[in-house]
Structure 1
Amino acid sequence: MSTKFPEIQGGGSLILAWQIKGKEVLVVAAGRIVNLLNADAKVTVVCPRNGLNEEVAYRVNNGQVKHVDRVFLPVDLEPEKKVAMVLTAIDDPDASTRIWKYCKQMKVPANIADVPSECDFYFGSVHRDGPLQIMVSTNGNGPRLAAAIRRQIGQMLPEGTGDSVKRVGQLRRKLRKVASGKTSRDISKRMAWMSEVCDKWSTDDFNDMDDEDMDKLVRYYESGEVPSFEEIRLGSRDHVVWEFDGTFGWM
C-alpha cells in the first residue's frame, strides 16, 4: 500500500556531524588524526614512539597532539580524563578487542579499525570545502567505492560552494541580531525565510553578496518577502532608473 511517507530502509547507520571541538579523543596507534584536528579535538596518541608513522611523529613533535609513549592501559580511560571517544588501529586483534570491551565498560564510544562489529561509529569518505562537509558511507560494504563517489560529488558542485556556505552563515548570524526572538514561532519564521532565500539565490549570488547586500536583504525579513539578488543590487524595481546607452539596438 503506497503512502505519502518514505519507506523504511533498514541496515543503514545514523550519519551525524559530531561536535568534538575541545573534547578529549584517545587514539591508540595512529589513524584519523587529521580529521580530529580539523574538528578542533584535543588528541592524545597512546603508542610506543617506535610505532609512530612519519606524519603522527611530525604532529607529536610540533605539539599538535599529546603523546603517551607506551601501550594502552585502563588508566587511560579514567573518568577524570573525560575521554569522548577512542580510535584504535593496531595489528593485535586480541588487544583491540580488550580495548573495545573496556571502552564498553566505561561507556566510551570506540572505533576499532577494520572490525565493524567492534565499532560504535564509522568514518565515511568526506568532501571538504571550507565549512561544507559531505560524507559518503557504504556502511562498510565498499570504502574504496565510497571514495570514488565522494570525488564525483565534489566535481559536480559549483566552484565556490564552500564560500557560499560561509556567506549564508554570516547572513544567518546577521538575521538573528535583527530578529532575535527565541520563541518557537520566531525560530520557525527565521528558518522558513532563510530556506526561501537559499532556494531563490544561486551559489554565485551568495559569493557576490557583500555586507551592504546582507544589510539590505535582512530588511525584507519582517515583510516575509525574499527579493532576488538583482533587486538587492539595483533596489526596488519601482525606484530603478533604467538608463539606455544605445548598446541594445532596435529591430
Structure 2
Amino acid sequence: MSGKFPEVQGGGSLILAWQIRNKHVLVIGGGEVAAGRILNVLNADAKVTVVSPREGLNEEVAYRIEKKQVEYIDRKFEPSDLDGADMVLTAVDDPEASSQIYKLCHERRIPANIADVPPECDFYFGSVHRDGPLQVMVSTNGNGPKLANIVRRKIAASLPDNTGAAIQKVGVLRRKLRKIAPAIEEGPKRMHWMSKICESWSLEDLCEMDEKDMDELLKSYKSGDVPCLHEVRHEGEPVVGFEGSFGWW
C-alpha cells in the first residue's frame, strides 16, 4: 500500500489564494520592503493603512500616500493601531519592536507577517508571477527568498505570452455557462465540460474566441460535445447554393 498514495512531506506551508478584498491591512514601516508588501495587498484590493514617520518613507510608499491609494499615519506604531485590523505586515529595522508587535497580534488573533523573521510569521510572501488573472507563487518557506525569485523567473519564462489572456476568456465562458446551467446538480457536468474545452482547445484558440463564439459553443453544452473553434464558426463546411442554368453546386 505504501506506493499507492503520495508520501507526506512535512515542513511545508499551506499555499492558498487569500481573498482580502476590502479587508483592513495595517502596514508598519515605510521602506523598500514595506513598498513591496503594500503593492501586494493593493493588488488584492485590500484597504491599506501605513504607519511610519515621514522621514522613513521610501519613494514608492510616499507616492502611494500622495495618490491616496493608502491611508497614512505619520508616527511610530502604537498598540491602538491594531484596532480593526484584519492583517498586519511589519517592515521595520527594530527586531525588538517587531517581536512586540507580533506578540500583540498573536494576543488579538490577527494574522501577521514580520519581515525577515520567519518564526514570527503566520504566513509568508512568495515570489509571484502575474499575468492578468494568472498568479503563480513560488515559496521557499522562508529559507531563500532570492532563490524563490530565480525559480519564479524560470517558470514565467516557460509560459506562453498569451496564457493570461486565454484564462480571461475561459473565465468569461464559465460565467456564461453558469447562467444557462445554474442548478447545483449541474456542477459536475459544468466542470467536466469546461475541463474538456481547456484540454482540447489551444491557448491561441482560447485567446481568439469572442462573445459570438462563446454563445455558439454553449449550444453544445447540453449534449456534452466540445467542437473545435473552426466547427463553432462553421468554417470549412461545404456551401450549397443554386447557380441558375447550371443547377446545384
Tell me the TM-score normalized by structure 2: 0.91
What is the aligned partner in structure 1 of residue 244 from structure 2?
Answer: none
The Cα offsets for residues 170-194 of structure 1, whole Å up to 9 and x where unpaired, read as 000000111111x2x3111111111
Distance 1:213 1:205 in 2: 11
Output aligned runs, 1:226-245, within 5 Å. Answer: 226-234=226-234, 240-241=237-238
Matched, 1:69 2:71: no
The Cα offsets for residues 209-249 of structure 1, whole Å up to 9 and x where unpaired, read as 011110011111111111122221226x8xx2179xxxxxx
What is the aligned partner in structure 1 of residue 118 from structure 2?
Answer: 116
3-state SS in 2 of match to 1:87: strand
The Cα offsets for residues 140-170 of structure 1, whole Å up to 9 and x where unpaired, read as 2221111111111111111211111110000
What is the aligned partner in structure 1 of residue 188 from structure 2?
Answer: 188
Q: Percent identity of the aligned residues?
A: 60
Give the number of aligned pairs. 235
Distance 2:107 2:96 in 1: 17
What is the aligned partner in structure 2 of residue 43 from structure 1?
Answer: 48
3-state SS in 2 of match to 1:20: coil
Distance 2:86 2:193 in 1: 36
Distance 1:172 1:42 in 2: 29
The aligned amino acid for 1:45 is V
What is the aligned partner in structure 2 of residue 248 from structure 1?
Answer: none
Tell me the TM-score normalized by structure 1: 0.90
What's the offset of the Cα at 1:121?
0.2
Distance 1:180 1:145 in 2: 44
What is the aligned partner in structure 2 of residue 84 from structure 1?
Answer: 86
3-state SS in 1 of match to 2:233: helix
RMSD, matched Cα? 1.5
Matched, 1:223 2:223: yes
Pair 1:242–1:151, CA change in 2 (3 A) = farther
The aligned amino acid for 1:189 is K
What is the aligned partner in structure 2 of residue 59 from structure 1?
Answer: 64
The aligned amino acid for 2:212 is E
